[in-house]
Amino acid sequence: MDTLEPIVSINNVTKTYKRGDQIIPVLEEISLVINKGDYLALMGPSGSGKSTLLNLIAGLDQADKGVIEVGGIDITVLSESELSRWRVSNVGFIFQFYNLIPVLTAFENVELPLILSDLSGKERKEHVFTALKVVNIEDRMSHYPSQLSGGQQQRVAIARAIVTDPTILVADEPTGDLDRASAANVLDLMDRLNRDLGKTIIVVTHDPWAGKRAHTVKLLDKGVLSDDSQDTHS
Amino acid sequence: MIVKILIRNAFRHKLRTSLTICGIAIAILAYGLLNTVIDAWYAGVEASAANRLITRNSISLIFRLPLSYREKIRSIDNVEIVSYGNWFGGYYKDEKNFFANFAVEPNSYIKLYPEYKIPENERTSFLKNRRGCLVGKKLADSFGWRIGDNISLISRIYPGKWEFVLMGIYRGKQKSVDETLFFFHWEYFNEMIKKSRPFSADNVGFYVIGVDNPENAALTAKTIDKGFENSLAETLTETEKAFQLGFVSMSESILDAIKLVSFVIIVIILVVVANTMVMSVRERINEYAVLKTLGFSGRHIAILILGESILITTIGGMVGVMATFPAARIFSYAVGTFFPVFNVTKETLLQDVIVTLIVGITAGILPTWRATTIRITDGLRKIG
Amino acid sequence: MRLLFFYSFRNLLTRRVTTLLTSSGMALVVFVFAAIIMLAEGLQKTLIETGLDNNIVVLRRSATTEVQSIISRYQASIIETQPEISLDRTGARLLAKELVVLITLRKKVSNSLANVVIRGIERTSIDMRPQVKLSAGRLPKPGTLEIMVGNNVAKNFKNAGLGNSIYFAMRSWTVVGVFDAGETGFSSEIWGDSDQLMKAFRRNAYSSIIFRRNSNFDLPSFKRRIESDPRLTLNAMVEVEYYKKQSEMMAKFLRILGISLTAIFSIGAIIGAMITMYAAVANRTAEIGTLRALGFGRTNILFAFLLESLILGFLGGCTGLIFASMLQLISVSTTNFQTFSELAFSFRLSVGIVTKAMGFSLFMGFVGGILPAIRASRMKIVESLREV
């Protein structure tokens, strides 16, 4: 990685939750820079705040304090609807439980984010086919999620995440619900997306196998960020 | 695509959706029927003509007016035809077989009510035969009466057995015309009264007056009542419409109750549909959160949920409307002559449609509000 | 069993919105059901309380109401001499020859015309109706154009209060008294001097004769005597029976209306309960599997869900009845089809109605819950556990 162009920069971000009248700090004064084409894994025990950090980067949640810039835009100042529009073209999501819409076929699920763009119907179809080809699931495109295995569903979800060609890809425990073989398959796919297509990927996981694939691993514990001792480049 | 999700969502829980549709169909059916019942109550008002006046004794309906008033009324300006009659209060064989029956002066009465269609030959034979009677089609059908049949009625007011011969059957020119009435000759009635109760002979229960122009109706009514002021029997003259409305207003409380009840049924069904939507949305809150994550806005979610709610209610509403017609026919048959005119009107159908839409939208509001305001991170956490 | 109850109850608590919606649907049905039956009950009670057991009403044979009846003075004099009439303290016969006609008055609220009973009375008429109590003004003097009105007439009709005069039959009649006859039909009547009213209406015959029976009275033999007398075309009945009959048609109409409406409505509410309970079962599949794995039997599961649905019905029934009981404060005034005259009465709640409404509500809960409960009890442990 020679061109070190920062794509995500987080500066002094603090986030707390209220539970009853108790205020629980989740993230304290976190600062982090992620460069373009990076593959970052956020690891840590449950409750460490790694998912919260991911949600903040993806613009799903709002920080109490601090600045988060993604692709040069400070997303902490955007309104809810501005954030919505921003997410469409800038963030691709991969969830632990795939979160496909059960009443839509694989093809339709991938097409879903595109209906918010101004692409023509034909262009949309082309994009969907390309994305399905990348994840290698074209043969199942007219199946409903319930007719697909977990690994297949996750591949469809990845296709949905990349179909808009987003600035960053975020994944929250993408292998958390998969068996070893399917997980490996999904991780290979993410590798390819990063290597061949130059996608910036941020993944939250506590699966060491998944962590190993990343270029950089950051540890998050009790709201504090630290570098992982073993910086494993694959 | 949104529409596709919407439609498929609606039929995701087949059992739940079909139960809800069934509930709406029944509610709309009941609503339509109740509306039709109310319309039936007002049928007499609807069918009344603007140029007809009714004159009766001002004390109350049970008091009569002397026959001699006829000539006096006829001499009043703008009056074209004067007819008269008595409420007979008769029933056929059993008190349960109750229908409206009048002794009327037939020549003028038929002229005043052109909406009764009577075949020419039946009309002349009815007018000629002093013991003849003229009967509505619906009434004749319900007792299986044919032309030439001998019919005897028993009256609660006038003792004895009264024998009539069926000479004519009329049909209504419009649907709103009451086809369950029974008319016979006032002359025959008066003769019988003369024999049994001479002191109450030559009295009529009401006069029906045809005015040349509806615009003159109000003035003519006043002139008639003025003419009999301070006489033995003071009169009260109203347009036919006002007279019929007076009858309706007697049962005002019941009508109000029915109106209230038809409102209650809407609330019940609203609650049922709202419940269905609340449950469906709660189960799918995770999906809505995913959609929001993908960049769909609150507006999209609102369309999804409200659309589903409206789709389900509309299907139910259509089933209900379609069922209203056969149900109204069965109901009308069951109550017989109690509601002489029982038709499902366009207004009722329109109201059905409006109610369906209102229920569909209202039921979707609460879940829509929930789904659109929930924070994405909370929505995503609710799994399964 | 107690644990089971709390399990069902807490589940309802967690799904507050759904519980609220489902039970309020049922509450509305119970409300309508109770309201209409209460109305019929109120009407019947009002008319039954109007009559007394020891008063006898004599009418013309074909007449079913006093308004239709005519009794000539000659016939009246025959009745007057019957031996079964009791005497008051002064030794006078407790018998009244009354005139009953309808007049039209305008209602206060709707301004529409309604028929009101005007009763021509004698001095004895009041002695025989202990329910009638003067609440304002004084009794009308015999032989004058003075009248007194029932409190419902004073309340519901225009210009019918104390001190007003009402014009009918070419005369102006002054209201000198208002009487309260409790929840009876008399409260919807106007009373005036019998002779004066007969003169004004130019009638030479009475409508009815009322007398207080003495211990020698026997209805069948009295009836037989009157009916076999060719001079009399009359019929006698106990006053209670007479008034009971007048409420029959209307009460029957209300009951049929109430039952058929609630039958339709209850389908809606049952469907609501079914939807809720099916959803409850579907959402708790894993829970059911766990309970079964812990050793709870199929019947336990069945009861738990049925109980949940019955609680829904119970909540609905209670709410519906609470609102229905508030109706008792409202008085209704409508035309009785049978007598064609205006009658005021109020909603009456009775133990019987409460039981019926509650039973009906639990029935809705039962019907709505039984199928989902059966489905829950039939689930296979392994399959339901697998579902997350």
H or E segment and range at residue C70: none
On chain A, the residues whose CB falls within 8 A of the CB of B298 are: 81
**Cα(C20)–Cα(C316) distance, integer angstroms:** 9
SS3 content of chain A, % helix, strand, coil (to 5): 40, 30, 35
Q: Is the pLDDT of residue A229 over 60?
A: no
B175 touches chain A (CB under 8 A): no
Interface of A with B in 144-173 (CB under 8 A): 160
* Lowest pLDDT segment from B88-92, B245-249, C365-369: B245-249
pLDDT at B375: 80
Give per-residue burial for B172-202: e unless 16+ CB within 10 Å, then b: beeebbbbbbbbbbbebbbeebeeeeeeeee
Sign of the alpha-carbon torsion through B212, B216, B218, B224: negative
pLDDT at C128: 92
Question: Where is pLDDT greater, at C252 or C156?
Answer: C156
Number of domains making up chain A? 1
C296 touches chain B (CB under 8 A): no
pLDDT in tens, A166-192: 889 999 888 888 888 989 999 999 999
Q: How far is CA B14 from the centre of its chain?
A: 38
| Tokens matching residue C385 | 């556990």
Q: Which of these, B115, B140, B150, lies nearest to B44 by C-alpha position?
A: B115
On chain B, the residues whose CB falls within 8 A of the CB of C29 are: 268
User: Angle CA(C343)–CA(B64)–CA(B153) in degrees, nearest 5?
Assistant: 80
Q: Helix crossing, C239-283 with B252-283: angle to 10°?
A: 10
B376 touches chain A (CB under 8 A): yes
Q: Is the pLDDT of residue A232 over 60?
A: no
| Tokens matching residue A88 | 């469409």
**Cα(A37)–Cα(B371) distance, integer angstroms:** 35
Neighbours of C, requiring at least 3 CB pairs below 8 Å, are B
Whether A104 is in a domain gets the answer: yes
pLDDT in tens, A52-72: 888 889 888 888 888 999 988
Residue C91: which residues within 8 A CB-CB, separation 6 or more?
Answer: none
A88 touches chain B (CB under 8 A): yes
Alpha carbon distances (Å) from B356 to B33, B240, C263, C291, C305: 15, 36, 21, 42, 32
SS3 content of chain C, % helix, strand, coil (to 5): 55, 25, 20
**Cα(B237)–Cα(B241) distance, integer angstroms:** 11
| Residues C230, C156 contacting (CB under 8 angstroms) | no
Q: What is the CA radius of gyration of chain C?
A: 30
On chain C, the residues whose CB falls within 8 A of the CB of B274 are: 21
Chain B residue closest to C102 (CA)? Answer: B60
**Cα(C241)–Cα(C157) distance, integer angstroms:** 29
SS3 A48: coil
Whether A93 is in a domain gets the answer: yes
**Which of A60, A85, A108 minimises the CB distance to B293?**
A60
| Tokens matching residue C346 | 């109020």
Residue A90 is part of which domain span? 34-62+78-216
B-interface mutation test, from C197, C275, C367, most B Cβ less than 10 A away: C275
pLDDT in tens, C54-113: 999 999 887 778 888 889 899 999 999 999 999 988 888 999 999 999 888 888 887 877
Q: Is the pLDDT of residue A134 over 50?
A: yes
**Which of A81, A99, A108 minimises the CB distance to B297?**
A81
H or E segment and range at residue C321: helix C298-326
Q: How far is A113 from chain B, CA to nearest CA, in Å?
A: 6
SS3 A176: coil
B296 touches chain A (CB under 8 A): yes
Contact yes or no for C115 and B60 at CB 8 A: yes
Which residue matches tokens 């006078």?
C92
| Residues C119, C189 contacting (CB under 8 angstroms) | yes
C268 touches chain B (CB under 8 A): yes
DSSP secondary structure string, B233-272?
Answer: S-EEEEEHHHHHHHHHHHTHHHHHHHHHHHHHHHHHHHHH
Q: How far is CA C331 from the centre of its chain?
A: 11
On chain B, the residues whose CB falls within 8 A of the CB of A103 are: 4-5, 8-9, 12
> Per DSSP, what are the bridge partners of residue A11?
A67
CB neighbours (10 Å) of residue B129? Answer: 18
Which residue matches tokens 């373009």?
A36
* Residue type at A166 in one-letter notation: P
pLDDT in tens, C120-173: 999 899 999 999 999 999 999 999 999 999 999 999 999 999 999 998 888 899
Alpha carbon distances (Å) from B25 to B173, B353, B364: 33, 12, 18
Q: How far is A1 from chain B, CA to nearest CA, in Å?
A: 30
Contact yes or no for A102 and B287 at CB 8 A: yes
Which residue matches tokens 């994550």?
B293
pLDDT at B350: 93
Q: Is the pLDDT of residue B367 over 80?
A: yes
Q: Mean pLDDT, chain A, as a whole number?
A: 86
B3 touches chain A (CB under 8 A): no
Q: Which of these, B280, B336, B344, lies nearest to B308 by C-alpha position?
A: B280
On chain B, the residues whose CB falls within 8 A of the CB of C64 are: 156
The CB-side HSE value for C69 (13 A sphere, CA atoms) comes to 27
SS3 C90: coil
On chain B, the residues whose CB falls within 8 A of the CB of A60 are: 293, 376-377, 380
On chain B, the residues whose CB falls within 8 A of the CB of A85 are: 295
User: Angle CA(A51)–CA(A55)–CA(A60) in degrees, nearest 5?
Assistant: 150
pLDDT in tens, B20-44: 999 899 889 989 988 888 888 888 8
C247 touches chain B (CB under 8 A): no
Q: Is the pLDDT of residue C280 over 70?
A: yes
| Tokens matching residue B1 | 């695509």
**Cα(B359)–Cα(C32) distance, integer angstroms:** 20
Whether A22 is in a domain gets the answer: no
**Cα(B202)–Cα(B69) distance, integer angstroms:** 11
Q: How far is C57 from chain B, CA to nearest CA, in Å?
A: 18
Whether A92 is in a domain gets the answer: yes
Q: How far is A234 from chain B, CA to nearest CA, in Å?
A: 31
pLDDT at C282: 83
The CB-side HSE value for C141 (13 A sphere, CA atoms) comes to 4
User: Angle CA(B245)–CA(B249)–CA(B250) in degrees, nearest 5?
Assistant: 120
CB neighbours (10 Å) of residue C222? Answer: 18
- Cβ-based burial of B67 (10 A; exposed 0-12, middle 13-18, buried ≥19): middle
**Which of A99, A103, A111 minimises the CB distance to B8?**
A103
- Cβ-based burial of B120 (10 A; exposed 0-12, middle 13-18, buried ≥19): exposed
Sign of the alpha-carbon torsion through C104, C105, C107, C111: positive
CB neighbours (10 Å) of residue A123? Answer: 12
Q: How many helices (H) and strands (E) does chain C have?
A: 12, 14
Q: Is the pLDDT of residue A2 over 70?
A: no
User: Angle CA(A161)–CA(A162)–CA(A163) in degrees, nearest 5?
Assistant: 100
B330 touches chain A (CB under 8 A): no
* Residue type at B278 in one-letter notation: V
**Cα(C66)–Cα(C194) distance, integer angstroms:** 14
pLDDT in tens, B104-125: 999 999 999 999 999 999 999 9
pLDDT at B384: 35
**Cα(B229)–Cα(B231) distance, integer angstroms:** 5
**Cα(A44)–Cα(A39) distance, integer angstroms:** 17
Q: How far is CA B219 from the centre of its chain?
A: 30
* Lowest pLDDT segment from B45-54, C128-137, C189-198: B45-54
pLDDT in tens, B154-184: 887 787 789 999 999 999 998 888 888 999 9
Whether A17 is in a domain gets the answer: no
Neighbours of A, requiring at least 3 CB pairs below 8 Å, are B
C-interface mutation test, from B95, B153, B264, B271, most C Cβ less than 10 A away: B271
CATH number at residue A153: 3.40.50.300
C371 touches chain B (CB under 8 A): no
